[in-house]
Structure 1
Amino acid sequence: MAAAQPSRLTRLLAMVPYFQARNGISIEQAARELGVTPTQLTKDLELLFVCGLPGYYPDDLIELEFSEGFVNVGFTAGMDRPLRLTTIEASTLLVALRALVETPGVVDVAAARRAIAKIEEAVGATAVPGLPGPDDSEPARDNPTYTTVREAVRKGRALRLRYYSASRDSVSERVVDPIRLQVMDQHTYLEAWCRMAEGVRLFRFDRIDTAEALDESSRPPAEAEASPQSVLLPENPDLPAVELEIDPDHLWILDYYPVEPITRIEDREPDQPVRVRMVYGSPDWLTRFVLGFGGSVRVFDEPAIAEAVAVAAARARDRYRRSAPDTV
């Protein structure tokens, strides 16, 4: 696969120090090294020729000579060396990359670690004081199952999954149509249309035992693809949280929605509900969410929302009664 080409701005910023270090290089050779055509390089040089310092008088503009097919730099306008990351920029990039490496399935681990090494080499070991180093205790190899899932999402291919359900303590096989990847609380989820359940489900990466890309395209329903699972909300202190009770026959919710159990599942009686905590975006969304489970999920600590659920359920029941035919 061909490497991605740099943007024109990136190329222009690097060209002056590049040509200064290679004064007299031919346009053809420079074009090959920069990954562009001679025609495009000539256009770039013509643009650089009218760039420079404020004032924009002849002595302020970058001076280049390239009319004879060779490039010579007369005046750099201060662009004498390639741009370098500042300490803050390098720290931000390194922290973000290391967080991605530690989140299962998000990126190619080996590629991310190569990027970390290049940044550290570019800024120097002492340029980012106090930043912890990477954990090299494990080899820089990506989980092949994670790679298969990511590639299926990227290429739009259906998947056959062998998936472990934590609440049921069982493994099932199913064919899914990938939609997108979602990340929350250092866990990566595959959002997909499950053909067995005939609905959108979330599959946590670290619970996918095996994944096989099928020789068919991913074909989730249009409405499922258009609206992401909005329950995937970050632990944002500005967002409210609610306690819910979930009946035993609906504990599969723990696998598909990022809820946090408050009571240990192992410590309860088999017929007792499980209490969980969930962050939500709005009362209206939470009301619709609870209504969708027909009483098997109940709001525990928000009386106003519980009342809203009851009112909405009563109105729906009344509409069904009014639309039902009269019986003798």
Structure 2
Amino acid sequence: MERLLNVIMTIGSRRRIDRAKLFAVITDYADAPSEQAAERMFERDKAAILELGMPLVTERDVLDENTVYYRIEGSESGAVLDLTTEEYTVLLAASRAWDDAAAGGAARRVRSKLLSLGHDADPDLLRRTPRGVVESLPVLSPLLEAVTSSRTVRFTYRGTRGTPTPRSVEPWVVGVHDGHWYVHGWDRDREAPRLFRASRIESFPSLGPPAVEPRPDGLDLDAVWETLHSSEDQARAVVDAAPYKALALRDHAGASLEAPRFELPELPRPAVRRMLLSNIRWLELVEPAEWRTEIADVLASVAAAHEGEADLSVVGTAAARPDPRIRTTPTGNDTLSRLISEASYVMSRGEADLAELSSALGISEKQLITDLQVLFVCGDMGTGWEDFIEAEWEHGTVRVRNAEPLRRALRLSAVEITALLAGLAALEPTAGDAEPIVASAREKLLAGTVPDAPSPLPTRTELAEAAAADEMVARTADRAETVLAAVQEALRADDDSDQSRLTVRYSSTDRPGTSVRRIHPLRIETDGARSYLVADCELAGAPRQFRLERIVEILPDGTPQERPHRGEGPALGGRVQEEVWLRMDPPGRWVAESFAAAELRDGEDGIAYARLDGPVRAALVDAVLESSGAVEVLAPRELRDTIVTVAQISGARHTQA
């Protein structure tokens, strides 16, 4: 680490330096046991400097080709991103998408590099951009690197049968579907394309040899999913639904929020069955008749499976599944990138608050002081101690001087650009009037990609244009835009003004009908594919969390507030307070992942058991019904009874003439 810093400082402090002089003044090169050892060491250091994005240039003397010079290009010629404050802010927001968990070297480096640019973020815009947008997983960085470099990758994967197996894959595309990361590519062992869910990868992927299978053009992850769920049995299902309910289905059909009956587009039978069962509390399938009978049979079997007490002894005999041990420690380049960013950040501002800088970088103050101590002993090794970096942090104020070579612009690698593009794509649904800023930042990132890099995910604008021919789809999109624009305007307004408050109609997942509430928006939060508005609610007299897509209407000021009706059937509000145990057949394992199971156990014949702590009751009931019998709640008994009641009520609607 110190050697690399010294090499950068020594080369960057002068117009250029020849190889012989560099080898003489860098102690590790000079003390190497042989000239060949010094050469190998220097070649590794050069690769590391280039990987960081430092513009290192090699030149031969025009008069003596045996003399090699090295220099680092000036900051102007090395700059890669000419960003406005707003563009910098949305890129910083995109990098924050990875903060909730370690997402590998690319995520760590890209945040450090952005901070080194010396911009000040727009605090208002940053407040209106959500955090935690992208599912953060430590396996993502090597997967992205394999895609951008056309390399093979090896990892241990736990598929639907539950047995971990080694896989060798040539990744074609890494993307997000329904808030979860997937990698699609050529499975070398099975000699066929395969789709892998990233959260089921149980070892840190290791890069292998170059890929040999041609990558298909125009890959689209959603199209891959449609192929997986395709069926020759297709039809246009007709559905009766309660007003303002089954919102996802209404959006899919392009139906209005109040329409009592609507028709879905022609879709495969398995896909329609899943969508219907996940919303079954609010609807009735009218046609086709044979699909209606199937829905009734599935609900009857789910109800029968949950009658009475469950046999919990099988849980005790199942083998506990150990947590995957995916260990990712920051590499030398991750740390060096952070050190350079710290120096650039402080020098661009003159000084910085210790606590503020450690928070911006996502490290502890103790780690930051350790970094500054490393900077303090590094510098231009070709001169005296007076040209070493000066770093001080007394009284909580950080100052760094004499480190001008570290202010050279850091270029973003293809992997880092891909990581930022994914973050921007996830920001777009909640961008509101900041969408043009997101688009311009995206264009500048794309300008830095290599020609052979994979195509990024389509933007929300491109998707909207593709669907513009459907008038109902456009109307649904307009509704979401209207809600988001009002929320963004309220977030910008002064806290004491009327503009900072909204009257909304909200459709809850656990109660019939809707409620009318006057709220004071505080911030937007995102969890995977779901975006939430945190707001003070006058009706509740406390802060509440609202799913953005369930705010179905912005109402005029003065509209009377109204609580949701209790309705018939079991109460599904809140979280399950008792410990929940699930029995899952292979097709139902996704439920444990969706609810972040606290414990997993493996039984016989591919059956697995999961313990959930405090799941949302309504969401879990819907997931069990959506699984079509692949998931059974074993405990608590009260939740089993609730599922029986819901399944019977919903099934009765489909058995009536």
TM-score, scaled relative to structure 1? 0.42
Q: Which has the higher helix share?
A: 2
TM-score, scaled relative to structure 2? 0.24
